[in-house]
């Protein structure tokens, strides 16, 4: 993990961009808007981020890191037995989705705004989705589940579907049903 010494202003720009990209869309948010909301100027933005694309990529990376760190922490402090982590996964996902600060999943929106598979932003989104699926697969493996990859894929579909539903309509309640479905799939995979 490349930890970077970050100036307060750099971080402010990054956080502002994250928020604006989520609430207004990436292509609909100009750098002028970002610097105005962040309370700085374009010169400073372009000092820290060489292009808007570079800023987008960093926003996506930071968002994913923050989410993954939050989830790791939840799983490690609340659960001792590795076999239980997969069972509690959707409890924490529910907590995350229903949190008032939830604004959506970066890589899901980004991949829709940049549908071309050659595009670096699309490629990063795709990579993040794959890595999150692998993370679930690792949890399933540690829980001694046979078809860990298969279950992980199914759970990731429920996850992305629930996020999608919540992005479309806040307070959709989709995660409640995703959780039930996940429980059923996990129990089925364990008893195999």
Using CB under 7 A, list all residues that contact DNA: 7-9, 28-33, 39-44, 46-47, 50-53
CA atoms within 13 A on the CB side of 17: 28
Total residues in contact with its own copies, by rule CB under 8 A: 45
CB of 21 to DNA, least distance (A): 11
Site string for its own copies, 24-63 (x = CB under 8 A): xx-xx-----------------------------------
Answer with the entry of DNA, its own copies, none that 120 interacts with (C-beta below 5 to 8 A by kind).
Answer: none
Answer with the entry of its own copies, DNA, none that 98 interacts with (C-beta below 5 to 8 A by kind).
Answer: none
Contact (Cβ atoms closer than 8 angstroms) between residue 148 and residue 55:
no
Dist CA 3 CA 54 (whole Å): 17
Dist CA 66 CA 64 (whole Å): 5
Closest CA to 60 of 2, 109, 131, 118: 109
Sign, Cα dihedral of 152, 125, 12, 98: negative
- Residues contributing to the site for its own copies (CB under 8 A): 22-25, 27-28, 104, 108-109, 111-117, 122, 125-126, 129-130, 150, 153-154, 156-162, 164-165, 167-170, 174, 177-178, 180-181, 184-185, 188
């Amino acid at each position: 993990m490349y930890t970077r010494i970050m100036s307060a202003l750099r971080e402010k720009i990054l956080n502002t961009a994250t928020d604006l990209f989520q609430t207004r869309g990436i292509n609909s948010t100009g750098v002028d808007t970002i610097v105005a909301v962040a309370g700085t100027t374009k010169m400073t933005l372009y000092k820290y981020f060489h292009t808007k694309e570079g800023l987008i990529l960093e926003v996506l990376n930071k968002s994913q890191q923050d989410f993954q760190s939050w989830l790791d922490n939840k799983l490690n402090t609340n659960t001792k037995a590795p076999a239980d982590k997969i069972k509690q996964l959707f409890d924490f996902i529910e907590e995350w989705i229903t949190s008032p600060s939830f604004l959506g999943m970066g890589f899901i929106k980004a991949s829709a705004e940049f549908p071309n598979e050659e595009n670096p932003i699309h490629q990063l989104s795709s990579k993040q989705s794959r890595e999150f699926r692998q993370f679930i697969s690792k949890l399933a493996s540690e829980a001694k589940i046979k078809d860990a990859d298969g279950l992980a894929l199914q759970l990731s579909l429920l996850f992305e579907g629930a996020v999608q539903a919540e992005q479309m309509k806040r307070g959709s309640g989709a995660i409640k049903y995703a959780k039930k479905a996940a429980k059923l799939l996990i129990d089925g995979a364990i008893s195999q």
